[in-house]
Chains A and B, each alone.
Chain A
Amino acid sequence: EAGVAQSPRYKIIEKRQSVAFWCNPISGHATLYWYQQILGQGPKLLIQFQNNGVVDDSQLPKDRFSAERLKGVDSTLKIQPAKLEDSAVYLCASSTRLSNYGYTFGSGTRLTVV
């Protein structure tokens, strides 16, 4: 099966600019997650979708981050305006109960804010 697709792979922006990341999960996976991985740390959950509804966004900095999953398939994560501390790898993952737990991760988008 095809994996989780993310784009772009790399992005460099100046602080206060906006940026968007795209994720296409594995076909049929109802649950989609966005994680933020700062250098030297483990991934941290930002938001979880079940189909096109938000299940948990308690750790999403909503003053600058937003995410949507229209039609319950692809998802976009946006940052506006970006801060230096947003420099990180943004990972998308998807899962289904049929996969007997465990996520499949994409390769991530590496964001550098200068």
Chain B
Amino acid sequence: AQSVTQPDIHITVSEGASLELRCNYSYGATPYLFWYVQSPGQGLQLLLKYFSGDTLVQGIKGFEAEFKRSQSSFNLRKPSVHWSDAAEYFCAVGDQYGNKLVFGAGTILRVKS
């Protein structure tokens, strides 16, 4: 069965600074990997996904993520954070069909002005 670890519970960055959120996964086959964002009281919004091809994936809102098979990682990055990026971010791994997503515990991002 697949599993996901997000090592950082909270991260605080200054507005305009770069951001990297860490995600490590465990899955025996080719993983399907996702990043979602959740604002307070809202559902989950898909930022980006990876299932094959180029290991650097571009998403919405200026986010990107890089799949590194050797490190079992799928870290999320943004070069310049905006105050509106403050939210909780979830990494998820799906089975070989992209189904049955298993989520990490999430990382809460705080942006200070």
Contact = CB atoms under 8 A, between A and B. Distances in A.
Interface of A: 4, 31, 33, 40-45, 48, 55-56, 91, 93, 95, 100-108
Contacts of B32: 101
B23 to A, nearest CB: 11
B112 to A, nearest CB: 22
Contact of B100 (A41, A48, A106): A48
The 7 closest A-B pairs by CB, nearest first: A42-B103, A101-B98, A105-B43, A105-B44, A107-B43, A102-B49, A102-B46
B103 A44 contact: yes
B60 to A, nearest CB: 12
B43 A42 contact: no
A50 to B, nearest CB: 9
B101 A103 contact: yes
B46 A45 contact: no
A42 B2 CA distance: 14
Interface string B46-66: 100101000000000000000
A45 B101 contact: yes
Given A91-B44, A106-B43, A42 B100 contact: no
A59 to B, nearest CB: 10
Nearest to A10: B41
Interface in B78-113: 90, 92, 94, 98-106
B99 A31 contact: yes
Nearest to A107: B43
